Amino acid sequence: MKFHIQTWGCQMNDHDGEKLSGLLSVEGFEPVDSVEQAELVLLNTCSIREKAVHKVYSELGRLREVKQRRPLLVGVTGCPAQQEQAALFKRAPHIDFVLGTMALKQLPRLVAEAQAGMTRVMDTGEYPDNHLFPSSVTRRRDTAKALVTITEGCNHACTYCIVPTTRGAERHRPCEEVLAEVRSLATGGYREVELLGQNVNSYAGGCTFAELLERVSEVEGLEWIRFTTSHPMNFTRELARVLVTNPKVAPFLHLPLQSGSDRVLKRMSREYTVAEYLERLEYLGEGRAKLTLSTDFIVGFPGETDEDFEATMRVLDEVAFDGSFSFIYSPRPGTPSLRLKDDLPVGVKSERLTRLQQSQGRLTQASNDRFVGRQIPVRIETHGPTEHGWWLARSGEWKTIHLVAGPDRSLPFGELVQARITMASPHFLGAELV
Ligand code: 5AD
Ligand code: SF4
């Protein structure tokens, strides 16, 4: 049977897609690149904001049309599957099975049941070993950079966030198991790993997260280690030290701030004040200058006043983030923030978002400008030059690089090369091969 998995959302979801693909491949199923070729389509979906959930229903609508023309099995997994459970069948009766986020290994069984003609097949149970996934099964998309789960779930309770409901409480993979996976990846030719968790900083699989980073960095053959994502309250001095001193840890930190107003942070239950967030950045000391720093903002949280928003704009400028992701608050089912009065007109929210993104655009341009003239290592991310003649690459600081290599050069995919930065635009750095 030919299957196609369509994934959107965060890196955790990307990696779940790789695990699910591996599970089906082990059973003898054949992966294909499009819905048209597939006999089984699995939607691996996201519900962090309402827009992502709309995409679930619009993709399901598309699949219903395909299913009217020919036999097709349709499965749904990811956060909306865990959240909606059997309600999904009501809204989209052509779904054959629903798989929860904490029951990934049940996929082959659910598919077999659906193939046998059972309808409305579902497993949204919490399997305590979900995070203990055999590395040999995972079917990774990239051959140079590998995603590696270290924790699943989140023990924080931000009032806007659906993740604690859809991904459950924290479970940590034992340190030795993470190391064994990383060693086998390095032996298999991987040069970079990204350690994944809803909150990697609270890692407790037998050592601290900082210790885990140090131990992973000792694995021979690895060139860069990245991690995502981090809660400021679990960002320790020890972690800051490892980040600025360990040459294998990529010089990039994503530390979500969400708002620059203490009043809003409190209503979000973020557990820190702006001053405490800034104190975490001070842990980085002078090493901070070598890093790029990015963050997340939610704009238009219920009750956000003009003053609250201006406070966010001031912190944005003060920290001068190299990049940020910003979103208008999206009410999520079952979250505590639904009880807060939200009477701010959507036009005001959009204006605030635009202003924030324009300011960030200027900061990102300034951050990119600082790279011009420098020589830095970058990893080649394409197998050949684009039609414009340059290669796509990525720096340790998470900058997108357009690399000119000369007409006769063939650059090895996945390798680190030295690049001299020649120009900076808002979205990428132009560079030439050294
Ligand atoms: N509305 C808008 N943005 C949200 N995020 C999480 N939940 C919501 C929501 N309900 C944002 C946060 C988080 C990022 C992954 O998504 O900024 O850090
Ligand atoms: Fe959601 Fe907050 Fe946990 Fe992040 S830290 S996943 S925003 S509850």
Query: Which CATH number does the domain housing residue 34 bear?
Result: 3.40.50.12160
Q: Does residue 141 lie in a domain region?
A: no
The closest-lying atom of ligand 2 relative to the alpha carbon of residue 199 is 5
pLDDT at position 388, please?
87
Query: What are the residues whose beta carbons fall under 8 Å from the beta carbon of 183, sequence distance 6 or more?
Result: 219
40: which 2 tokens? 């089984």
pLDDT at position 146, please?
98
In short, whether 164's Cβ falls inside 6 Å of ligand 2 is yes
145, 134 contact by CB (below 8 A): no
Q: Does residue 26 lie in a domain region?
A: yes
**In Å, how far from its chain's centre is CA 160?**
18
**In this structure, are 277 and 165 located in the same domain?**
yes
Q: Mutate which of 154, 167, 202, 269 to test ligand 2's pocket (most atoms within 8 Å of Cβ)?
A: 154
**In this structure, are 264 and 360 located in the same domain?**
yes
The count of other CB atoms within 10 Å of the CB of residue 39 is: 16
Dihedrals phi, psi of 91, to nearest 5 degrees: -75, -30
pLDDT at position 407, please?
75
In short, whether 231's Cβ falls inside 6 Å of ligand 2 is yes
**In this structure, are 298 and 180 located in the same domain?**
yes
In short, whether 183's Cβ falls inside 6 Å of ligand 2 is no
pLDDT at position 193, please?
98
**In this structure, are 76 and 114 located in the same domain?**
yes
Residue 356, pLDDT above cutoff 90: yes
In short, whether 48's Cβ falls inside 6 Å of ligand 2 is no
Residue 155, pLDDT above cutoff 90: yes
**In this structure, are 7 and 83 located in the same domain?**
yes
Q: Residues 270-289, buried b or exposed e (16+ Cβ, 10 A)?
A: bebebeebeebbebbeeebe
Between the CA of residue 250 and those of 124, 165, 356, 363, 419, what are the distances in Å?
Answer: 36, 31, 27, 21, 16
Distance CA 263, CA 274 (A): 10
Residue 80, pLDDT above cutoff 80: yes
Of 227 and 412, more confident: 227
Query: What separation in Å is there between the alpha carbon of 48 and the centre of ligand 1?
Result: 6
Question: Which residues is 433 bridged to in the sheet?
Answer: 419
**In this structure, are 90 and 191 located in the same domain?**
no
pLDDT at position 408, please?
73
Please state the domain count of the chain. 3
208, 238 contact by CB (below 8 A): yes
User: Which of these, 83, 220, 112, 29, lies nearest to 97 by C-alpha position?
Assistant: 112
**In Å, how far from its chain's centre is CA 286?**
28
The mean predicted confidence, pLDDT, of the chain is: 97
What CATH number does residue 423 fall under? 2.40.50.140
Distance CA 240, CA 254 (A): 12
Taking residues 309-322, what's their average pLDDT?
A: 98
Q: Which ligand has an atom closest to residue 296 CA? A: 1
**In this structure, are 59 and 34 located in the same domain?**
yes
Q: Does residue 137 lie in a domain region?
A: no
Q: Does residue 116 lie in a domain region?
A: yes
Q: Does residue 130 lie in a domain region?
A: no
Distance CA 94, CA 104 (A): 21
pLDDT at position 238, please?
98
Residue 285, pLDDT above cutoff 80: yes
**In this structure, are 356 and 246 located in the same domain?**
yes
What CATH number does residue 213 fall under? 3.80.30.20
In short, whether 172's Cβ falls inside 6 Å of ligand 2 is no
Q: Which ligand has an atom closest to residue 158 CA? A: 2
> Among the residues of 78-160, which ranges form H helices?
79-84, 87-91, 107-115
**In this structure, are 60 and 165 located in the same domain?**
no
**Reported pTM:** 0.96
Boundary-marking domain end, from 309, 344, 367? 367
Q: Does residue 315 lie in a domain region?
A: yes
Give residue 303's pLDDT band: very low, low, confident or very high (50, 70, 90). very high
Write out residues with Cβ below 6 Å of ligand 1.
Answer: 48-49, 160-161, 256, 258, 296, 298, 327, 329-330, 332
Give me the helix-helix angle, 346-369 and 306-319, nearest 10°: 10
The closest-lying atom of ligand 1 relative to the alpha carbon of residue 326 is 17
Of 360 and 385, more confident: 360
**In this structure, are 201 and 317 located in the same domain?**
yes
Boundary-marking domain end, from 61, 88, 123? 123
Q: Does residue 140 lie in a domain region?
A: no
Query: What separation in Å is there between the alpha carbon of 327 and the centre of ligand 2?
Result: 15
Q: What is the pLDDT of residues 31-53, one digit of tens each?
A: 999 999 999 999 999 999 999 99
Give residue 386's pLDDT band: very low, low, confident or very high (50, 70, 90). confident
Residue 335, pLDDT above cutoff 80: yes
Q: Does residue 139 lie in a domain region?
A: no
Q: What is the largest CA-CA distance in the chain?
A: 63
Taking residues 277-284, what's their average pLDDT?
A: 98
Range of the domain at 362: 146-367
Helix (H, G, I), strand (E, B) or coil at 340: coil
HSE at residue 289, side-chain half, CA atoms within 13 A, is 3
240: which 2 tokens? 């800051």
Distance CA 96, CA 3 (A): 14
Q: What is the pLDDT of residues 178-192, one digit of tens each?
A: 999 999 999 999 999
Query: What separation in Å is there between the alpha carbon of 258 and the centre of ligand 1?
Result: 8
Query: What separation in Å is there between the alpha carbon of 256 and the centre of ligand 1?
Result: 10
pLDDT at position 161, please?
98
Query: What separation in Å is there between the alpha carbon of 391 and the centre of ligand 1?
Result: 33
pLDDT at position 406, please?
79
Q: Whose CA is nearest to atom 18 of ligand 1?
A: 296
**In this structure, are 89 and 155 located in the same domain?**
no
**In this structure, are 410 and 345 located in the same domain?**
no
Distance CA 378, CA 400 (A): 9
Taking residues 258-287, what's their average pLDDT?
A: 98
Q: Whose CA is nearest to atom 13 of ligand 1?
A: 296
Worst-scoring range by mean pLDDT, 88-97, 307-316, 333-342, 381-390? 381-390
Boundary-marking domain end, from 311, 339, 367? 367
In short, whether 302's Cβ falls inside 6 Å of ligand 2 is no
